[in-house]
Every structure is written in C-alpha cells, then in structure tokens.
C-alpha cells in the first residue's frame, strides 16, 4: 500500500490535509481528510503516514522572477480557462498563508521524501477543467463530493469544508500523474513574458489533464 498526500494552505484553522491510500497499481483504497489549525499541525499529521509516494500542494512550488512573478503555467491557465481566469492571480498578489504554508510543507516533504513526486495543484481551476462547472462549495458541496467519490473509484468521501475537498482533489491530481494519465506538466511550459524560474526544495511538477 502507498500513500498520496494533499495539502490546501488555508491559514489559521483552515489548513486542509488529505491522505489517499492506494494499492501497488494505484487503485484507491480509502481517503482520510482533516482540517488543521497551523502548519506545525499539518506537518505532524503528514509525518504519521508511511510509504508516501507523492504530494499535491495547492500553492506555488516553482517561482519566476519577472513582472509580478507571473509564470508560464499561470498564463496558460488564464488563457485556456477564461471563465475562471480570476482564480489565477499573480504570485505577488497571493495571501501569505498560501505562500508560507506551501513552502514550509514542500521543504518538509522534500527533506523526508526526496524521491517522491511533488506536484503543484490548483483545485478551483482543476475542478472547472474537468467538469466545466465552477468550484462553488457553498452551493454545490454534494455534487462536488459525488464527483470526487466517482473519480476515486467509489471510495467513501466526506468533507467538512472546501479546504478538505481541495486537499483531496490535490491527491487525485498526483494519482492521475502516477497512473500515467495526466502527463501535461504545466511547469515545463515556457513564456517569453516570464522571468527565469527559481525552484526551492526539490524539483516539482504541475500535473494537469
């Protein structure tokens, strides 16, 4: 059995974490989700899981040094999904909780699982990309839960909030990459409008359908 972790850095009291257990052929077995208060609690929870093969992080895992920190992946998402383009903001405009949480967890993960996959995720745009429906937890939580339950092979999924859902969807993105289905790595895209990349704490991908 292997484990895929997922993380949504929502700030104090709103850190979504998920652990998806899969068999050796990457068939989902079960998923556990929780909401944590701090990054320390997140790392402590992640540390309790064994045989970790990857993590999906809803935060920047790769940085660029040009105007506003825009990256090729950001431009591609905004151009490809104009209906939800406002969900893709410039890295310079992101909340500190998202940036700090992402870096802290990526650093911990790389130090403890240096040979495992790290993928950036964007659950809100990803949900739209797959379903053509907006990520609207307040009004469509049952439909969103049913969607992910189906995508994970029918294993029971229960979410208290959108942070837990987003962390689970981040697990799913890594799962599809490991299965060999999602090989569209947004981090290998180039764009002349963006500055050079900086990638702290190990190489990462940006798994996308």
pLDDT tens for the chain, residues 1 to 209? 999 999 999 999 999 999 999 999 999 999 999 999 999 999 999 999 999 999 999 999 999 999 999 999 999 999 999 999 999 999 988 877 888 999 999 999 999 999 999 999 999 999 999 999 999 999 999 999 999 999 999 999 999 999 999 999 999 999 999 999 999 999 999 998 998 899 989 999 999 99
d(CA 141, CA 133): 12
Cα–Cα nearest to 155, from 27, 16, 17, 1:
27
Handedness of CA 130, 133, 137, 140 (dihedral sign): negative
- What is residue 94's predicted lDDT score, i.e. its pLDDT? 84
Distance in Å from the first CA to the final CA of the chain: 25
d(CA 207, CA 3): 17
- What is residue 97's predicted lDDT score, i.e. its pLDDT? 82
- What is residue 158's predicted lDDT score, i.e. its pLDDT? 97
In a domain? residue 11? yes
Reduced to 3 states (helix: H, G, I; strand: E, B; else coil), residue 183 is coil
> How is 84-110 classified by DSSP, letter by letter?
GGGGS--GGGS-HHHHHHHHHHHHHHH
Joined together, the tokens standing for residue 51 give: 């045989």
125, 88 Cβ separation under 8 angstroms: yes
- What is residue 95's predicted lDDT score, i.e. its pLDDT? 79
In a domain? residue 113? yes
In a domain? residue 97? yes
In a domain? residue 7? yes
- What is residue 98's predicted lDDT score, i.e. its pLDDT? 87
Q: Which domain holds residue 163?
A: 2-204
Joined together, the tokens standing for residue 96 give: 């500190």
- What is residue 93's predicted lDDT score, i.e. its pLDDT? 85
pLDDT tens track for 108-122 = 999 999 999 999 999
In a domain? residue 209? no
Cα–Cα nearest to 173, from 7, 1, 2:
7
- What is residue 189's predicted lDDT score, i.e. its pLDDT? 95
- What is residue 80's predicted lDDT score, i.e. its pLDDT? 98
CATH classification of the domain holding 139: 3.30.420
d(CA 70, CA 136): 26
Q: What is the domain count for the chain?
A: 1
pTM value is 0.97
Q: How many helices (H) and strands (E) does the chain have?
A: 6, 9
């Amino acid at each position: 059995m292997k484990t895929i972790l997922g993380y949504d850095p929502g700030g104090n009291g709103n850190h979504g974490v998920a652990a998806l257990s899969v068999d050796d052929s990457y068939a989902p077995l079960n998923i556990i989700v929780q909401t944590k208060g701090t990054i320390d609690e997140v790392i402590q929870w992640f540390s309790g899981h064994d045989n970790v093969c990857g993590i999906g992080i809803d935060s920047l895992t790769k940085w660029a040094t040009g105007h506003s920190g825009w990256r090729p992946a950001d431009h591609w998402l905004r151009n490809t999904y104009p209906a939800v383009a406002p969900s893709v903001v410039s890295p310079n405009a992101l909340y500190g909780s998202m940036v700090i949480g992402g870096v802290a967890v990526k650093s911990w993960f790389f130090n403890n699982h240096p040979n495992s996959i790290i993928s950036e995720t964007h659950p809100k745009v990803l949900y739209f990309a797959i379903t053509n429906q907006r990520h609207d937890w307040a009004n469509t939580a049952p439909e969103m839960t049913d969607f992910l339950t189906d995508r994970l092979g029918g294993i029971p999924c229960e979410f208290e909030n959108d942070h837990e859902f987003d962390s689970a969807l981040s697990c799913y993105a890594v799962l599809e990459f490991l299965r060999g289905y999602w090989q569209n790595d947004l981090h290998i895209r180039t764009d002349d409008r963006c500055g050079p990349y900086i990638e702290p704490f190990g190489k990462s991908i940006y798994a996308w359908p």
